[in-house]
Structure 1
């Protein structure tokens, strides 16, 4: 797979939520990316569909960082070969 999970998260944030590509960094919080609570719920639903995982409603919050979402997906086996 040539596209990394971070690349795909960036594509989702830019394409679905209008975030500027340069703003998507591992340390960016979802609040800093201007995602409100409803947008974060929608983001989690997109991640579930995109990666085939289940994400708890409270797993992604405005204070969470992009790196936290990456860690959550990694813990669910996303991006790991095997």
Structure 2
């Protein structure tokens, strides 16, 4: 991420990946989410993006972290965010 702040080409790639992640999240979540307004959907997607960034940082900061447990925690969080 810090490289994206210095390099416009890297920033463009990061922006495209972020946009694609959000599109996939929207397509994946809408069928499972309770009836939500557009704003609520966007808020939940933003929360999922923040949690995924945090999970990535956690895995980077602690190489001994158990990936299965991190993914289970991520899954639980996403399930709570979408209301299922």
Measured against the shorter chain, the TM-score band is 0.3 to 0.5
Q: Which has the larger radius of gyration?
A: 2
TM-score (norm 1): 0.34
